Amino acid sequence: MSLADLHFFKMTREPSLDALCAVVAERHAQGLATILYAGGTDWMVEQEMRAPLHDEPPLVVDIGRMGELRGISLAGDSLRIGAGTTYLELERSAVVQARAPMLVRMAKDVGAVQIQARGTLGGNLATASPAADGVAALAAYDATIVVKSARGERRIAMADLQTGYKKSTRAADEIIVAVELAPPPEGSPWYWRKVGARRAQAISKVALAGVAVVENGTATRFGVGMVSVAPVTARMATTRALVLGKALAEITAEEIDHAVDQDVTPIDDVRSTGEYRSHVARALTRDLLRQLGARV
């Protein structure tokens, strides 16, 4: 099948987030799913992969223009990014450039410019794939996800979001509204390195996102997220503990390798091998820590 052969489906827009929550809740109660069409870059691929067997066309709600899901704002120490923000908007945002530059760098590595212009952070988080670049970057910032349903609004810490391969603690009727993060002081070091099979349109074999605050040779804040090395985005608890517990200059390569090995469980798949991913996971982590001052 090609996309041109998609079954007809109904596509609507809702006037407000509350109205959207109501529609989703009502259908949810009847056991029906609602597709929230943000950029469509994950959903359309799924449609192409599956034969058009359903006779009941799905309801697709275009949320691309929903005001409540859009906008980037800095209030005090909290940077709030609407779920409907595209990668290109991240790249072009002066606030994000200044306060969360790693997100800008990450966004430039997503797909190619066409995907960056359509794909959204919300879609990336909703799919919650371990291969999602945006999720890893947000994990490194220890961001919080704001979700809303007819039952009300709540916040989910990145650490609590993913529970298994493409599984999350977000309920099926919860809409992702925004992400919030506490940006490190301006000028703080950050790291983004994506290893894919080519320079664009490549899903990560491995990617590493990192943010840190270093005071007197010791990291006082250190967050990382690694892509495609575990069933969920790897938050690298052992590595984080190692780095936060010690002067950077004293951390050895062996300690890093050992910690990384604890933190990742990569597999062979169509994109790469477990062995290669383990090697790259160690090499990128060393590279990150080298840049922070570790002598490795």
Ligand X SMILES: Cc1cc2nc3c(=O)[nH]c(=O)nc-3n(C[C@H](O)[C@H](O)[C@H](O)COP(=O)(O)OP(=O)(O)OC[C@H]3O[C@@H](n4cnc5c(N)ncnc54)[C@H](O)[C@@H]3O)c2cc1C
DSSP letter assigned to residue 112: -
53 contact choice in other proteins, ligand X, none (CB below 5 to 8 Å, kind-dependent): other proteins
State yes or no: residue 209 binds other proteins (CB under 8 A): no
Identity of the residue, 10 or 198, whose beta carbon is nearer to other proteins in the bound complex: 198
Question: Least distance from C-beta 10 to other proteins, angstroms?
Answer: 16
Identity of the residue, 175 or 260, whose beta carbon is nearer to ligand X in the bound complex: 175
| DSSP E strand boundaries for the chain | 10-12, 34-37, 59-62, 72-75, 78-82, 144-149, 152-157, 162-164, 167-168, 175-181, 190-195, 206-215, 218-227
The Cα 180–Cα 73 span in angstroms is: 10
State yes or no: residue 246 binds other proteins (CB under 8 A): no
75 contact choice in other proteins, ligand X, none (CB below 5 to 8 Å, kind-dependent): none
Burial class of residue 75 (count of CB atoms within 10 Å of its CB; 0-12, 13-18, 19+)? exposed
Place of tokens 């990014």: 81
Identity of the residue, 6 or 29, whose beta carbon is nearer to other proteins in the bound complex: 6
Enumerate residues 75-114 that contact other proteins by CB under 8 A.
112
Question: Least distance from C-beta 191 to other proteins, angstroms?
Answer: 13
Contact 200/111 with Cβ under 8 angstroms? Answer: yes
Select from 131, 195, 229, 236 the one that contacts other proteins (CB under 8 A).
195
State yes or no: residue 150 binds other proteins (CB under 8 A): no
Select from 98, 214, 283, 296 the one that contacts other proteins (CB under 8 A).
283
Angle at 275 between CA 102 and CA 293, to 5 degrees: 40
Question: Least distance from C-beta 202 to ligand X, angstroms?
Answer: 6
